[in-house]
A and B are shown apart, each in its own frame.
Chain A
Amino acid sequence: MGEVILKIENGTKKFKNELIFQNVSMEFEKGNSYGFVGPNGCGKSVFFKTLCGYSLLTEGQVIYRGKIIGKEQDFIDDAGIVIEEPEFINSLSGLENLKILAEIQKKISEAEIIEVLKQFDLYEDRNKKVGKYSVGMKQKLRLAQAVMEKPQVLILDEPMNGLDKKSVKKVEDILKAFVENGGTLLMTSHIEQQVEACCKIVYEIDGGEILRVTD
């Protein structure tokens, strides 16, 4: 059994009277991959937001590396995150957008950003404005911003949305390599095959419950 780096204990999330999930407890180990499947609107994104610390649990707690998220630490600070198709500044190029985000923590150089863009086949279009990117290119840019700073944890909500077959294969390879190198992957999809292709452990979210379906 690997080192547990992230866990949720008796987590419940409600919006007024609407119950999203209830009494959820689970642990995520370093170097493992976890997939969550479920229909649209079942609460996958909200679950991920609570894990990241963007949204606070109604009851229970999320613990990352021994620290309670929302109390001892605001967010999972060394994670790469894509939740609900984040938007970029359309008037800037893909490279400029990534540079703005990279400047916040100053962990990587421009050369490393370029490397990531090459990895996601965006190098040729690096100076093109994001407003002119296709849906698939924008999705690849979102994934590029998540992996560019070499995070320990990847939390990806529907990472394959809008990608063509070739790109899906490429992203699957990148995610598998990330896990093989000791990273922890959490991803969602409404398509079970996509999750099964990348993740060793799969959960199903529906009706406020999260159930383990495969291992």
Chain B
Amino acid sequence: MKKYLSKKYIKYIGSLCAVWAALWNVFLLGVSLENSGPAADSTLLQCILGSENYAHDFFTRQFWFISVFVFYMAVYLVIFLFLQHESGKYRSMKLHRYGKKGYLNHCESKVLHGSLYAVLLVATGLAGIALFGRITGAVIRTGNADMAAAVLLLVKIFLCMVLYGKITVYQILRKNSDFAAFFMLVVLFVHLAAEVYTQKIHFLTYTGAVESLCGILILIVLNTVTELVVRKKIKTMDLC
């Protein structure tokens, strides 16, 4: 019982933390710009996003909540696709070894990790490139030193994303390993701690703790509802 509990809860909490960490990364670009000295400058935000109002809306709580919802729905949609289209011939060797429940857990875990990397690579990458382009353009136009500092911050974040992505995608493809998620979390939190320390900002302010807690609550509700639906569906599904 103890073993079951520890495994189950570690996995559940780990998944939530991983989702939170990935979304936090997307959010990080905006929060960093808002909280750091040069990036808090309204002129800079105008440069980045065209208008101050739009910039404000873009990084509101709505964005956070919608991201969580869409992301989680997408994950479960992909689990169904994965179940039905994952190399069925490879699956036939795994199914009776895992059992249906174990196999579903395995799929969830793989899809969840895959989605995290997609969020890291695609969403953050695209946001990073777009912001980088805008700020670089502004720096070139105005020669503003504060903006140059913001560019460096973005470059740093972007490079970190590429590095995490490369390592974790390699790990999951090559070894099908949970180590990737663990590694990603460690690096993200070290990164977070470094940002908080160097900018001398309170941790809760920096990470948007209230939004994060609300996000996790939403995840728990969504997780329970969607898991019930998926598990009911899989009972009557032909798997090979």
Interchain CB contact under 8 A, A83 and B240? yes
Partner of B240, one of A55, A92, A105: A55
When the two chains form their complex, are residues B89 and A104 in contact, meaning their CB atoms are under 8 A apart?
Answer: no
Chain A residues contacting B98 (CB-CB under 8 Å) are 104
Assess whether B141 is interfacial by the CB under 8 Å rule: no
CB of B236 within 8 Å of the partner chain: yes
Say if the beta carbon of A19 comes within 8 Å of chain B.
Answer: no
Beta-carbon contact of B90 and A86 below 8 Å: yes
Number of B residues near A (Cβ < 8 Å) is: 21
Taking a contact as CB atoms under 8 Å apart, the answer to whether A55 and B239 are in contact is: yes
B160 within 8 A of A: no
Instruction: Establish whether residues B96 and A79, one from each chain, have CB atoms under 8 Å apart when the complex forms.
Output: yes
Considering the chains assembled together, what is the distance between the CA atoms of A71 and B224 in angstroms?
23
CB of B128 to closest CB in A, whole Å: 30
B80 to chain A, nearest CB (A): 17
**A54 and B239 in contact (CB under 8 A), knowing A87-B87, A104-B94?**
yes
Which of B97, B102, B176, B238 interacts with A55 by CB under 8 Å? B238
* CB of B228 within 8 Å of the partner chain: no
Task: Report the minimum CB–CB distance from A75 to chain B (whole Å).
Answer: 4
B174 — nearest CB in chain A belongs to which residue? A91
Q: Which of A86, A91, A104, A105 contacts B92 (CB 8 A)?
A: A86
The answer to whether A87 touches B176 (Cβ under 8 A) is no
Residue of A nearest to B106 (CB): A104
CB neighbors of A among B80-136 (8 A) = 87, 89-90, 92-102
Q: Nearest chain B CB to A105's CB is how many angstroms away?
A: 5
Q: Give the size category of A's interface with B.
A: 20 to 34
For residue A53, which residues in chain B have a CB less than 8 angstroms away from its CB?
A: 96
Is A49 interfacial (CB 8 A cutoff)? yes
- Closest-by-CB residue of A relative to B236 is A56
List CB contacts (< 8 Å) of A82-113 with chain B. Answer: 83-89, 91-92, 100-101, 104-105
CB contacts (< 8 Å) of A55 on chain B: these are 238-240
Provide the bound-state CA to CA distance between A86 and B93, in Å: 7
Chain A residues with CB under 8 Å of B96's CB are 52-53, 75-77, 79, 81
* A74 interface residue per 8 A CB criterion: yes
- A145 at the B interface (CB under 8 A): yes
B236 touches A74 (CB 8 A): no
In the bound complex, residues from chain B placing their C-beta under 8 Å from that of A86 are 89-90, 92-93
Q: Are A74 and B99 in contact (CB under 8 A)?
A: yes
Is B99 touching A77 in the complex (CB atoms < 8 A)?
A: yes
Which residues from A are CB-within-8-Å of B240?
49, 54-55, 83-84
A15's nearest neighbour on chain B, judged by CB, is B238
Q: Is A87 within 8 A of B100, CB to CB? A: no
Give the complex CA separation of A91 and B176 in angstroms.
12
Contacts of A145 in B (CB 8 A): 93
**Once the chains are docked, how many angstroms separate the CA of A100 from the CA of B92?**
14
Q: Is the CB of A101 within 8 A of B89?
A: no
CA distance A101 to B94 in the complex (A): 7
B234 to chain A: closest residue by CB: A74
Q: B99 — nearest CB in chain A belongs to which residue?
A: A74
Chain A residues with Cβ below 8 Å from B239 are 54-55
How many Å lie between the Cα of A77 and that of B92 in the bound state? Answer: 12
Q: Which residues of B contact A (CB under 8 A)?
A: 87, 89-90, 92-102, 173-174, 176, 236, 238-240
Residues of A within 8 A of B (CB): 49, 52-56, 74-77, 79, 81, 83-89, 91-92, 100-101, 104-105, 142, 145
| 10 sampled A-B residue pairs with Cβ under 8 A | A54-B238, A54-B240, A75-B95, A76-B96, A77-B99, A81-B93, A84-B89, A84-B92, A91-B173, A142-B93
Question: Besides the contacts A52-B96, A104-B94, A104-B98, what 6 more A-B pairs have beta carbons closer than 8 Å?
Answer: A55-B239, A55-B240, A79-B96, A84-B240, A86-B89, A89-B90
